[in-house]
Amino acid sequence: MNKDFYALIMAGGVGSRFWPVSRTEYPKQFIDFFGVGKTLIQSTYERFLQICPPENIFIVTNEIYSDLIKTQIPEITENQILAEPLLRNTAPCIAYGCMKISELNPNATIVVAPSDHTIADMPGFVSSIEQSLSAASGNDCLITLGIKPNRPDTGYGYIQHTDHVLNTDKDLHKVKTFTEKPNLELAKSFIQSGDFLWNAGIFIWSAKAILKSFQKYLPDMYEIFSSGRNEMNTPREKAFINNAYFQCTNISIDFGIMEKAENVYVLPADFGWSDLGTWASIYEMADKDYVGNAVIPSDQVIMFDSSNCMVNVPKDKLVILNGLHDFIVVENNNMLLICPRDEEQRVKEFVAEVKSRFGNKYI
Euclidean distance between CA atoms 151 and 200, whole angstroms: 15
More confident residue, 329 or 278: 329
219 upstream amide cis, omega within 30 of 0: no
* pLDDT for res 343: 76
Mean pLDDT calculated for residue range 262-276: 91
Give the bridge partners for 169, in sequence order: 166
Query: In angstroms, rounded to a whole number, what is the distance separating the alpha carbons of residues 350 and 173?
Result: 41
- Within 219-287, residue ranges assigned H as helices are 219-226, 237-245, 253, 279-285
- The interaxial angle of helices 90-104 and 237-245, nearest 10 deg, is 150
What is the distance, to the nearest Å, from the Cα of residue 153 to the centroid of all Cα atoms in its chain? 18
What is the average per-residue pLDDT within 112-126?
94
Radius of gyration of the chain from Cα atoms? 21
pLDDT tens digit string along 46-92?
A: 999 999 999 999 999 999 999 999 999 999 999 999 999 998 899 99
- pLDDT cut 70: percent of the chain above it: 99
Q: Is the pLDDT of residue 124 over 80?
A: yes
pLDDT of residue 131: 96
Task: Tell me if 98 sits within 8 A of 91, measured CB to CB.
Answer: no
CB 196 within 8 A of CB 182: no
H-only helix segments in 287-331? none
Q: What is the rounded average pLDDT for all residues in the chain?
A: 91
Q: How far apart are CA 360 and CA 351, in angstroms?
A: 10
- What is the DSSP code string of 199-222? EEEEEEEEHHHHHHHHHHH-HHHH
Q: Quote the pLDDT of residue 300.
A: 86
The pLDDT confidence band at residue 12, using thresholds 50, 70 and 90, is: confident
Confidence of residue 358 (pLDDT cuts 50, 70, 90): confident
Angstrom distances, CA of residue 184 to CA of 63, 194, 273, 289, 350 = 38, 16, 21, 29, 24
Q: Which residues are 142's β-sheet partners?
A: 205, 264
- Band the pLDDT of 180: cuts 50, 70, 90: confident
Question: Do the beta carbons of residue 309 and residue 327 sit within 8 Å?
Answer: yes
Average pLDDT score over residue span 209-222: 98
Instruction: State the average pLDDT over residues 122-126.
Output: 95
DSSP 116: S
What local confidence, expressed as pLDDT, does residue 151 receive? Answer: 84
Report, as an integer, the average pLDDT of 184-198: 86
How much is the average pLDDT of 338-360?
A: 81
Asked if residues 44 and 59 have their Cβ atoms less than 8 Å apart, the reply is no
The C-alpha atoms of residue 3 and residue 6 are separated, in whole angstroms, by 8
Distance CA 285, CA 38 (A): 16
Give the DSSP H/E element, type plus range, for residue 171: strand 169-179
Distances in whole angstroms, Cα of residue 203 to Cα of each of 250, 282, 322: 19, 24, 46
Query: Are residues 196 and 149 in contact, defined by beta-carbon separation less than 8 angstroms?
Result: yes
Proportion of the chain above pLDDT 90, given as a percent = 64
pLDDT at 2: 92
Tell me which amino acid residue 318 is: L
CB burial of residue 315 (10 Å; 0-12, 13-18, 19+): exposed
Over residues 230-248, mean pLDDT: 96
Query: What SS3 state is found at 261?
Result: coil
Pick from 36, 41, 38: nearest CA to 287: 36
The band of 132, judged by pLDDT with boundaries at 50, 70 and 90, is: very high
Which region among 54-63, 151-160, 221-230 has the lowest average model confidence (pLDDT)?
151-160
Confidence of residue 351 (pLDDT cuts 50, 70, 90): confident
